[in-house]
Structure 1
Amino acid sequence: MASKGPAAGEGTGKDSGSGDGSAPRSGSGDIQRTIELLWDTGRRPSRGPRPALTLDRIVEAAVRIADAEGLDAVSMRRLSTELGTGTMSLYRYIPGKAELLDLMLDRVQTPADEPEAFDGGWREAVRLGAHEQLALYGRHPWLLLVNQARPVLGPGTIGSLERMFGRIRPMGLRDPELLSVIMLVDGYVTGVARSHVHAVEAEQRTGLTDADFWQAQEPQLTKAMMSGRYPQMASLSEDTFGPDFDHFTFGLERILDGLELLVSARSSGTTGAGPAGPVGSVGSAG
């Protein structure tokens, strides 16, 4: 998603990717301007008619396009068509695609209203957070394509972290450990979601369903299993690779079981953990 400059209708001098085929990146635009836009701290005109176009409308339209057609479909020119305005008009509100991406990321990660305090216990809190994140990737699969090693934190992302820290505070762990819990679950959910998205994309790209794909390999795989060279694989039950087993829930519950051992050890006065290592990104996935 390299920028080509306003004259080309594609962005400013900085882009949301590297221009070399690598993943689009958060935090790759004008950071100070992005912060102003995220937190609404920029200067506003005090006079004149109310503009027909707003930053909210631009961001909402960009998210809508990305959800329907993928992140590559989002361009300043496409947005101008979607919003019924001139391309150059967009630059009165946002410098370019890099800053727009950061606003999109923060918008989709804004948590829904929680009318009352969560009291389901820390284990249910982690479970709920994992399912909420999986649903987020289902609604916005393009999130998985963004390198968020350097997220620009806005009210949406901060609000999401605020909620999660509040929900898991009863674990009784140190703050860096609570952050590590969030990162652990984030990494697990992201991996599962990415595998699902890749499977969907493969079917769309090739026209082959999963069933067709594996059926094409069945004759050779049957011969391999009968050769005696792979006794462990040949002895697996017929339902091993079937669709009925819930791998996501199984893995998540094992993570929760491990965390429960730690929480129990802490509550009983034993250490239950080694020294913490370096802390990575607190943004969503990528």
Structure 2
Amino acid sequence: MAASGRTARPEVIWARPERAGRGPRPAHTRAEIAAAAVRVADAEGLDAVSMRRVAAEIGCGTMSLYNYVPRKEELYELMVDAVVAGYDLSREPSGDWRADLKALAGQTRALMHRHPWVPRLMSPVYGFSPNALRYFEYALWAMETLDVESGTKVELLAMLNGVITAYVSNELATAERARASPYPPGEEEAVRAAYLMRVLSEGRYPRMARTLTEGPGAIDLDEVFARAIDRILDGFEAEGRSGA
């Protein structure tokens, strides 16, 4: 609470100057703080990130860190922005909006695998940072040839990122479970698959049995990801054609 008894007004960290016009140069930068927090999260997970831990990483006191980042939520915002800076947006869009969005989707998936904690922080709240705005501007540029309303383009981008986040979260959870398994690689999966086949052979689940036996067998996650993205783009492309 503020000294007057009223709740302090919310602020956007990017609207606050990193350095005051007068006085000594700050000992640390936001980029340095964000990089330290990202290192901790990459190595030990998001739960290991605390103001105390990040302060220790950059060599300052915990209370001093609050002078740079008043709230932990703003530290998260700095972290997300630092990761989003990893997009390669150096080339102009090709003019093929589908190809360009698929390329962006691939980059998003790769970034989330490099920083497995990112899906937990995906939120529109962090969409106003400099690098997030840079990404958003580029995505809209890539969609200039898509003949739908501007609001529909925003919906497309939101849906795309939502599906990617869910997909990668599942990939990461599966990989984490495999790493935590006390059994040799693949052994637990094989036992579970054998159990499922045995249950299905009893005839109580005929539709599941038919579906799984007619399925493709081994699943290529990259191909499944590509098909998921294509199906989203198909829907929005059809909307553009119908409105033409």
In the superposition, the TM-score normalised over structure 1's length comes to 0.72
* CA–CA separation in structure 1 for the residues paired with 2:19 and 2:194: 68
Instruction: Compute the displacement of 1:58 (Å).
Output: 0.8
* CA–CA separation in structure 2 for the residues paired with 1:30 and 1:211: 53
Q: RMSD over aligned Cα, in angstroms?
A: 2.7
Cα distance change, pair 205–119 in 1 and its aligned pair in 2 (3 A): same
Which residue of the partner structure matches residue 17 of structure 1? Answer: none
Instruction: State which of 168, 172, 182 in structure 1 corresponds to 2:157.
Output: 182
Which residue of the partner structure matches residue 124 of structure 1? Answer: 99
Which residue of the partner structure matches residue 203 of structure 2? Answer: 228
- Given residue 257 of structure 1, which amino acid in structure 2 is its aligned partner? D
CA deviations on 1:206-231 (whole Å, 9 max, x unpaired) are 34567222223244323212212233
Cα distance change, pair 226–115 in 1 and its aligned pair in 2 (3 A): closer
Contact 1:109 1:156 in 2 (8 A): yes
CA deviations on 1:211-253 (whole Å, 9 max, x unpaired) are 2222232443232122122333334347645133621112222
Which residue of the partner structure matches residue 46 of structure 1? Answer: 22
* CA–CA separation in structure 1 for the residues paired with 2:26 and 2:145: 47
Instruction: Compute the displacement of 1:202 (Å).
Output: 1.6
Instruction: Compute the displacement of 1:114 (Å).
Output: 3.2
SS at match of 1:85: coil
Contact 1:134 1:189 in 2 (8 A): yes
Cα distance change, pair 155–204 in 1 and its aligned pair in 2 (3 A): same
Q: Is residue 242 of structure 1 aligned with residue 218 of structure 2? A: yes
Q: Gaps (5+ residues) in structure 1?
A: 1-12, 14-28, 268-286
Instruction: State which of 43, 47, 56 in structure 2 corresponds to 1:81.
Output: 56
Contact 1:106 1:153 in 2 (8 A): no
Instruction: Compute the displacement of 1:178 (Å).
Output: 0.8
The residue correspondences of 1:133-282 to structure 2 (distance < 5 A) are: 133-146=108-121, 148=123, 150-151=125-126, 153-208=128-183, 211-235=186-210, 236-237=212-213, 240-244=216-220, 246-267=223-244
Contact 1:39 1:155 in 2 (8 A): no
- Given residue 184 of structure 1, which amino acid in structure 2 is its aligned partner? M
Q: Structure 1 vs Structure 2: percent identity of aligned residues?
A: 31
The residue correspondences of 1:31-110 to structure 2 (distance < 5 A) are: 31-32=10-11, 35=12, 37-41=13-17, 44=20, 46-48=22-24, 50-110=25-85
SS at match of 1:169: coil
Contact 1:39 1:154 in 2 (8 A): no
More helix by share: 2
Cα distance change, pair 229–115 in 1 and its aligned pair in 2 (3 A): closer
Higher RCO (Cα < 8 Å, 6 or more apart): 1
